[in-house]
Homo-oligomer: A and B are copies of this chain.
Amino acid sequence: MATRKEVAALAGVSEATVSRVLNGVGPIKESTRKRVREAAEKLGYQLNAVAASFARGKSGNIGVVLPHVPKVHLFSTYYFSEMLSGIGEAARASGQGLLLLYRDPLKPFDYVSLFATQRVDACLVLGASAASHEAEAIARMAEEQLPFCVVDQRYDDPRISFVCADHAEGSISATKHLLGIGCRRVGFLNGPPHYSNSADRQEGYRLALKEAGLEPDASLQFEGNYSRSSGYKAAEAVDRQLDQLDGLVCANDRMAVGLIQGLKERGRRIPEELAIVGCDNSDIADWFDPSLTSVAVPFYEMGKLAAERLMESMKEEKASRGVIREVLRTSLVVRQTSR
């Protein structure tokens, strides 16, 4: 790779002049400009990608904005790792780079500046919540007609693009399955309600009970934060209600696994004393003992589809750019915890 210094030597000018010519900055005599350009070409001094991006107005990168959660190894959670694998596959196939950026989930994030400063050509938002500052920050991209897509979070604002899964359907099938094997007192361990997927799961659970002529009982509903330790902690409250419960739907596998470990330590037998259904159908559902019945959610496919739809959308003119709205199906995988 030739250096700026070599170009300067060959053209008989200073390095600063080489920069000014190649960066198009300041007044330069045409003869000097010509000499520098010829020297650069002769030495194979590479066309600067940043300069090329500048001319094209494109960075070649898709931004992926993730929440920063202290002490959580985000990539090591099945939820994010699968979505990122799908996004990565789509980006690789199209030759786009993936620019990972963190946001503080408690503060509004300035997505628009990422575009304004040309760091990204399009943006995917992962781990977003229904918090009003998040919705407003995302809506600003819609106002500017920028290409973006939220993954696994729905918003009522009709301008916000998203790809998500039918979590209500997942909860309906989990609850119906437990009723179908004879459970009559089905509880629910949900994640935080400020995610639309938590709210949708809750609604599915309610609908399935209602269809069976049952009323949801508030004392049989528990809340964690989608971590294994929160499931483990919930074991105490679940154990206290165990004479009132015969089945439990958990909003993800990590909480279900933590819960089962906590119940095992209290001498409870699963599924004999409590039938359990998880959600995600992650590796652990298959590996765990007892193996875990779980709602399979296509996170990899969600990430891949969101990235693909976004890249199509980037090619369109602002004015004709449609809103992306995709909801993927879930399915139930029955294993030992509900047999």
Contact = CB atoms under 8 A, between A and B. Distances in A.
Interface of A: 1, 23-25, 46-55, 59-61, 68, 73-76, 78, 80-82, 84-86, 88, 91-92, 97-102, 112-113, 116-119, 144, 257, 283-284, 287-289, 300
25 contacts: A24-B24, A24-B25, A46-B113, A51-B54, A61-B99, A73-B81, A73-B86, A75-B80, A75-B84, A76-B82, A81-B81, A88-B100, A88-B102, A91-B100, A92-B102, A97-B99, A97-B100, A97-B119, A98-B100, A99-B99, A99-B100, A100-B100, A283-B284, A288-B288, A288-B289
A80 B99 CA distance: 17
Copies per complex of this chain: 2
Nearest to A49: B117
B88 A82 contact: no
A54 B100 contact: no
A179 to B, nearest CB: 29
Interface centre among A47, A61, A76, A283 (most CB of B within 10 A): A76
Interface centre among A61, A82, A113, A257 (most CB of B within 10 A): A61
Give 4 closest A-B pairs by Cβ, nearest first: A49-B117, A24-B24, A289-B289, A73-B85
A74 B85 contact: yes
Contacts of A284: 283-284, 287
A230 to B, nearest CB: 15
A119 B25 contact: no
Contacts of A60: 119
A46 B118 CA distance: 10
Contact of A49 (B1, B88, B118, B283): B118
A141 to B, nearest CB: 10
Contact of A23 (B54, B91, B113): B54
B73 A76 contact: no
Given A23-B24, A92-B68, A50 B117 contact: yes
Contacts of A144: 1
B78 A82 contact: no
A23 B88 contact: no
Contacts of A75: 75, 80-82, 84-85, 88
Nearest to A53: B50
Nearest to A73: B85
B50 A74 contact: no
Contacts of A300: 73
A257 B76 CA distance: 18
A50 B54 contact: yes
Given A73-B300, A92-B102, A284-B284, A118 B84 contact: no
Nearest to A45: B116
Contacts of A116: 1, 46, 48-49
Given A46-B117, A73-B81, 6 more contacts: A23-B24, A23-B55, A49-B116, A50-B119, A76-B85, A91-B100
A25 B100 contact: no
A99 B102 contact: no
Contacts of A48: 54, 116-118
